[in-house]
């Protein structure tokens, strides 16, 4: 796997974690099938449509409404991701599954936005290829008093070998 270097003293540990545990999550049938299904719907979306959906999501976050957010959270793939987060016993702080356009397919918990396509977690994965790995910088979460890094890797269609989406996992580096 190749990866984009950032100033993160945990890069080796996070790369090993990606190879040993995170790739299995990205390759799970429920993950691959969910991305395939959403790509069939969103492949034709233009940037205006993506912006509209992202605005709806952000409005829901601000208002506490949950129509679109709830629909995504209720998906089987989101329940799977939430189970993976829970099973990590604090190692994973969030899991976000994105389609080929950078839109949320599944989430372990609500995110601040719907479109991730303008962020490194998608941009340094989907256009790069099946061997991509991005280790984000260390970030301190003041609310949880944790230091975390986001690890992103591709979701690869096992039939074609093509990157069809991305998976980003927040990792509490103090739990490695």
According to DSSP, the β-strands at 92-98 and 163-172 are: antiparallel
Per-residue confidence (pLDDT) for residue 6, from 0 to 100: 45
Say if 95 falls within a structural domain.
Answer: yes
H helix or E strand, kind and range, residue 125: none
**Residue 138, in any domain of the structure:** yes
CATH number where 160 lies:
3.30.450.20
Q: Does residue 5 lie within any of the structural domains?
A: no
The C-alpha angle with vertex 56 and arms to 54 and 62, in degrees rounded to 5, equals: 105
Asked if residues 74 and 11 have their Cβ atoms less than 8 Å apart, the reply is no
CA angle, residues 122, 124, 128, in degrees to nearest 5: 110
pLDDT in tens, 41-94: 999 999 999 999 999 999 999 999 999 999 999 999 999 999 999 999 999 999
Q: What pLDDT, in 10s, does the model give residues 98-109?
A: 999 999 999 999
Residue 102 lies in a domain: yes
Domain containing 24: what range?
11-175
Domain count, the chain: 1
Whether the pLDDT of residue 136 is over 50: the answer is yes
Residue 111 lies in a domain: yes
Q: Determine, yes or no, domain membership for 1.
A: no
């Amino acid at each position: 796997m190749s990866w984009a270097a950032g100033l993160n003293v945990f890069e080796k540990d996070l790369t090993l974690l990606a190879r040993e545990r995170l790739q299995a999550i990205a390759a799970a049938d429920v993950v691959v099938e969910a991305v395939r299904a959403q790509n069939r719907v969103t492949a034709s979306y233009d940037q205006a449509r993506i912006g509209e959906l992202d605005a709806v999501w952000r409005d829901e976050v601000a208002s506490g409404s949950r129509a679109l957010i709830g629909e995504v959270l209720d998906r089987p793939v989101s329940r799977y991701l939430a189970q993976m987060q829970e099973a990590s016993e604090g190692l994973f702080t969030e899991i976000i599954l994105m389609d080929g356009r950078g839109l949320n397919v599944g989430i372990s918990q609500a995110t601040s936005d719907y479109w991730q396509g303008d962020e490194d977690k998608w941009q340094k994965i989907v256009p790069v290829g099946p061997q991509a790995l991005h280790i984000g910088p260390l970030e301190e979460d003041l609310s949880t008093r944790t230091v975390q890094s986001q690890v992103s890797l591709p979701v690869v269609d096992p039939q074609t070998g093509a990157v069809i989406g991305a998976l980003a996992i927040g990792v509490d580096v103090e739990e490695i």
